[in-house]
Amino acid sequence: MLTLTHSWRRGPEGQVILTRQCPGPRDKHHHEGFSHSAGSRGRSACAICLGCFIHDIHHCNSNNLWDRSSSHCCQAQDGHIVNPQGLPLCYKWQCTQSCAAPNHEAFHGCSGCGSKDHGAQKCSRGEKA
């Protein structure tokens, strides 16, 4: 069983600051589970580590991207993807189909690099399938 250590605190402006210790994306524990298919393109990139290798993308808590570089976002205890300021990102924006909902546009940012121009599936930092 995979053991993760989380530590939470509030920053000076009320933002959630997450410290975590967990295996990196290429650790043997991360090869268990599944990854969703993206049709003819192969596997979708994980919204946390941007890896396309087989692992449980719904529970990825990696500190690093697939190539071991630093990750931009992380997954909070409630399952939301949060940016470095502790604000939740739109999960659907990270998916292949993206999100067209205008009522939460402020949450549309790439979990891989922070850009508002694309989501995780189109991020240049992602593993090439």
Indicate the Cα dihedral angle 31, 115, 121, 71, nearest 10°.
-10
Please give the C-alpha separations between residue 119 and each of 25, 40, 77, 106, 107, in angstroms, as whole numbers.
Answer: 19, 19, 21, 13, 11
Q: In the structure encoding, which two tokens stand for residue 97, read together?
A: 């189909």
Spatial separation of the C-alpha atoms in residues 71 and 77, rounded to whole Å: 17
Question: Residue 100's pLDDT band (boundaries 50, 70, 90)?
Answer: confident
Q: In the structure encoding, which two tokens stand for residue 95, read together?
A: 């998916």
- Inter-residue contact 49 to 32 (CB < 8 Å): no
Residues 92-117, mean pLDDT to the nearest whole number: 86
Q: What is the pTM of this model?
A: 0.64
Q: Total domain count for the chain?
A: 1
Tens of pLDDT, residue by residue over 19-56, are 443 333 433 333 333 334 333 346 789 999 999 998 88
What proportion of the chain, given as a percentage, has pLDDT over 70? 65
Q: Whole domain around residue 80: which residue ranges?
A: 1-129
Indicate the Cα dihedral angle 25, 44, 15, 109, nearest 10°.
140
